[in-house]
Amino acid sequence: MRKLIAGLHEFQTKYFSQHRDLFEQLSTEQHPRALFITCSDSRIDPNLLTQTEPGELFIIRNAGNIIPPYGATNGGEGAAVEYAVQVLGIRQIIVCGHSNCGAMKGLLQLGRLAEDMPLVYDWLKHAEATRRLIKENYQDYEGEELLNATIEENVLTQLENLRTYPVIHSKLHKGEINLYGWVYKIDTGGVFVYSMERCNIQAEHEVLV
Ligand SMILES: [Zn+2]
């Protein structure tokens, strides 16, 4: 905790004072460039990764970068999506999974979670489409390869879930919104970008960075 408090002091004396104009502007309004949906994992820092400043990214984070389909739950994710699109007018939405994701590891061993982590178990039901797709289409995969396929397919599942939101569905129809699927590789700093024409994600990789 001491490190965090020291960090607060340093933020106020250095960063804040050097960016006073930015914070003055942000004190009354925000015009973020994108909605960035990613995992709660401590190893991901959306602003660091995209080299953006405060005010540039509207961020939703949870275990497994999951957006429950519209109507599945009245949770915070849907509310944040609606606000981002309807009020803030955001037109770029990124779902960013990452390598070595603990939530996706859990999804591959869902049965074990039921007793020890019932809330995680319940939450991961929103990734059931990912789990089933992996189970039925990636029988030959195992270990890290299986985990990577799960991480990648889950990003696609969540993009599909985003499309179930009326506010997004309507704007997609008008070409007023763009959805992007990313997977961040912690060990290399690279980002795989998914091409929207869905086929085999393995063949669709493009290294962005
Ligand atoms: Zn994760």
Matching residue, tokens 């275990």: 63
Residue 203 — very low, low, confident or very high, per pLDDT cuts 50/70/90?
very low
- Packed helices 128-137 and 143-163: angle between N→C axes, nearest 10 degrees: 130
pTM above 0.95, yes or no: no
Spacing, Cα 61 to ligand 1 middle (Å): 10
- Provide DSSP, 127-148: GHHHHHHHHHH-TT--HHHHHH
Q: Give the helix, strand, coil percentages of the chain, each rounded to 5.
A: 50, 15, 35
- Of 85, 4, 92, 81, the closest CA to residue 42 belongs to 4
- Specify whether the CB–CB gap between 81 and 67 falls below 8 A: yes
Write the CA distances from 143 to 11, 107, 138, 146, 147, integer angstroms: 41, 13, 12, 5, 6
In the structure, ligand 1 is a single-atom ion and the residues with CB under 5 Å from it are: 39, 41, 101, 103
Q: Give the pLDDT of residue 208.
A: 52
Model confidence at 196, pLDDT cuts 50, 70, 90, reads low
Q: Among residues of the chain, what percentage have pLDDT more than 70?
A: 93
* Least trusted range by pLDDT, from 9-18, 163-172, 190-199: 190-199
Ligand 1 centre from 21 Cα, in Å?
A: 35
For the chain, give every domain's residue range. 1-30, 32-207
Between 47-51, 61-65, 91-95, 110-114, the lowest mean confidence (pLDDT) is in: 110-114
- Cβ-based neighbours of 72, under 8 Å, separated by 6 or more: 126
- At the topology level of CATH, where does 32-207 sit? Beta-carbonic Anhydrase; Chain A (3.40.1050)
Name the DSSP letter for residue 108.
H
Binding residues for Zn(2+), as ranges, are 39, 41, 98, 101
> How far away, in angstroms, is 85 Cα from ligand 1 center?
24
- Please give the distance, rounded to the nearest whole angstrom, from the Cα atom of residue 149 to the centre of ligand 1: 14
- Confidence band (pLDDT; 50, 70, 90) for 201? very low
Annotated binding site: 39, 41, 98, 101
Helix (H) or strand (E) holding 113: helix 110-116
pLDDT digits (tens, 9 = 90+) for 89-102: 999 999 999 999 99
